[in-house]
Structure 1
Amino acid sequence: MNRKNILITGASSGLGKGMAIEFAKQGCNLALCARRTEKLENLKEELLKINSSINVFIKALDVTQQKDVFSVFKGFHNDFQTINGKLDRVIVNAGMGKGASIGKGFANQNLQTAVTNFCGALHQMEAAMEIFRAQNSGHLVVISSMSAFRGYPRAMTVYAATKAGVKSLAEGIRADVLKKPIKVSTICPGYIQSEMTDSIGKPPPFMISLDKGSKLLVKAINKEKANAFVPFWPWYFIKQAMPFFTLKMLRKF
């Protein structure tokens, strides 16, 4: 199905920005939101240079603020109606990776990650599904992570837990609308270069460039499968092996 009008959260940098560029190349109209509006303005200019025939709408949004999420999503829906369209797809992408081992004095950072990645994602899913249910169509895309399948140590502990949570949320919504013309996809990326991975220090294993990762993400999203692993190799096979990893192996991984 051709999804012409797409909303992406966390679009000012990283995977959100990369996906916006790829969708612009495909001629999609875009609704982009993030906290850093100056970066959104620059991105809008870049996208219109890539494809001057598309429409790009931008709004500031902190996804932890529930009322703001509903207001911004409805505003974008109205924006698409002004160009004789509707909101076709929402990509729940906004998130962060702050944190440290539990009990080491970083409770505030861990809580911030938990609220942004899980509660913020819930706000986005609620707002998107309210619109999709009303129009009886749409594609909800949830960006989870390969870390969602096991618990991880150190800075990944809370992050992995939130990604497991949003994966479960997406599956629950998918079951709820199983007989409706509404699609729900969970995308689990491996390591794709971004501001988040740059902060790790030592490059993680099997990391690919943002450009390649964005292309693969968009390709997976357009297939509208229930679950996708990006890139498929080696992460699909790693996922199959993950239940057998010892905790010692997880620490190294």
Structure 2
Amino acid sequence: MRKTTLITGASSGLGDGMARVLAESGHHLALAARRTERLEALRDELLAAHPGIEVSVHPLDVNDHQRVFAVVKEAAEVHGGVDRVIVNAGLGKGGRIGTGKFHANLQTAETNFIAALAQCEAAMEHFYERKTGHLVVISSMSAMRGMPSSMTTYAATKAGVAHLAEGIRMDLIGRKGLDIKVTTLYPGYIASEMNEGVEQEAKLMVDTETGSRALVAKIEAEVAEAHVPTWPWMPLSHVMKHAPLGVVKRLV
């Protein structure tokens, strides 16, 4: 069992939800995000509920790339090594391409892809040094195809991080003496702070706890890839990948 997990974007949404589920299973946690007051409150709550675990808090803006590397080292020092890193921090901002929303789209691209690259680099350096570890990258069902309107840049970044993870996974093929796994997760509609107020997704949306438990189940199984929750997103993934663009647009 991998005991210590570092989660970025742990102050809300799926990061907070996954931390709660992992804590129930006795995992030690390194929680990283910008909003440290939320992290401290979560830490105190988890320690009170699960006195046998260790929880550390690490201030982190993932767009500060040097700080990303520093946080992995800090967490490793506190916990005697990091067994798993969940690359979760992200943004959902954006606008239709060509409508003056470049700044919002740029922020999303930098946070969801460039910052994710920094997290993967830092995590894998640590794992290669230890010869063991588990990298988890949170992509999205929107990575299946290009998406319209405000989702265009977001979907492109999530496709990018999925390919990044797959490339890292490919690098590990045939590397003897390494116990390093790479998991890519494609969440469907899971209620979180990022998608508050989104109405068209309501019929397929699950609550944060249900979604977080489904994510953690796949993480602990150390699968290579998974659509979460499996139903209806596994079958829908095939539709999204192969249907005409007009059909996909009506789905989203």
Question: TM class, shorter-chain normalised?
Answer: over 0.9
Map 1:234-249; keep pairs closer than 5 Å.
234-249=232-247
SS of structure 1 residue aligned to 2:92: coil
State the shift of 1:50 in Å. 1.8
State the shift of 1:201 in Å. 4.4
State the shift of 1:144 in Å. 0.5
Residues 205 and 100 of structure 1: CA distance in aligned 2, closer, same or farther (over 3 Å):
farther
The answer as to whether partners of 2:69 and 2:122 remain within 8 angstroms in 1 is: yes
Give the Cα–Cα distance (whole angstroms) in 2 for the partners of residues 79 and 51 of structure 1. Answer: 18
Amino acid in the other structure paired with 1:6: T
Does 2:181 align with 1:183? yes
Does 2:201 align with 1:206? no
Structure 1 length-normalised TM: 0.95
- The residue number in structure 1 matching 2:53 is 54
- The residue number in structure 1 matching 2:191 is 193
Give the Cα–Cα distance (whole angstroms) in 2 for the partners of residues 204 and 66 of structure 1. Answer: 36
- Range moving further from structure 2, 206-215 or 172-181: 172-181
Does 2:127 align with 1:127? no
State the shift of 1:244 in Å. 2.7
- The residue number in structure 2 matching 1:101 is 96
Q: What percentage of aligned pairs have identical amino acids?
A: 52
Aligned length: 248
State the shift of 1:204 in Å. 4.4
Does 2:245 align with 1:250? no
- Range moving further from structure 2, 139-148 or 173-182: 173-182
SS of structure 2 residue aligned to 1:155: helix
Give the Cα–Cα distance (whole angstroms) in 2 for the partners of residues 130 and 160 of structure 1. Answer: 27
The answer as to whether partners of 1:191 and 1:205 remain within 8 angstroms in 2 is: no
State the shift of 1:199 in Å. 4.3
- The residue number in structure 2 matching 1:113 is 108
Structure 1 counterpart of 2:219, from 215, 221, 241: 221
- The residue number in structure 1 matching 2:133 is 138
Amino acid in the other structure paired with 2:124: M
- The residue number in structure 2 matching 1:36 is 35
Structure 2 length-normalised TM: 0.96
Does 2:150 align with 1:162? no
- The residue number in structure 1 matching 2:5 is 6
Give the Cα–Cα distance (whole angstroms) in 2 for the partners of residues 169 and 226 of structure 1. Answer: 13
Residues 114 and 199 of structure 1: CA distance in aligned 2, closer, same or farther (over 3 Å):
farther
SS of structure 2 residue aligned to 1:58: strand
1:155-212 deviation line (CA, Å, top 9, x unaligned): 1100000000000000000010123321001011101000111143444441100010
State the shift of 1:240 in Å. 1.4
The answer as to whether partners of 2:189 and 2:201 remain within 8 angstroms in 1 is: no
Amino acid in the other structure paired with 2:17: G
Amino acid in the other structure paired with 1:153: P
The answer as to whether partners of 1:197 and 1:203 remain within 8 angstroms in 2 is: no
**Unpaired stretches in structure 2, ≥5 consecutive residues:** none
The answer as to whether partners of 2:10 and 2:32 remain within 8 angstroms in 1 is: yes
- The residue number in structure 1 matching 2:145 is 150
SS of structure 2 residue aligned to 1:96: coil
1:201-242 deviation line (CA, Å, top 9, x unaligned): 444441100010011110010000110111011111011122
Give the Cα–Cα distance (whole angstroms) in 1 for the partners of residues 198 and 224 of structure 2. Answer: 30
Amino acid in the other structure paired with 1:238: L
SS of structure 1 residue aligned to 2:216: helix
Query: What is the root-mean-square deviation in Å for CA atoms of aligned residues?
Result: 1.1
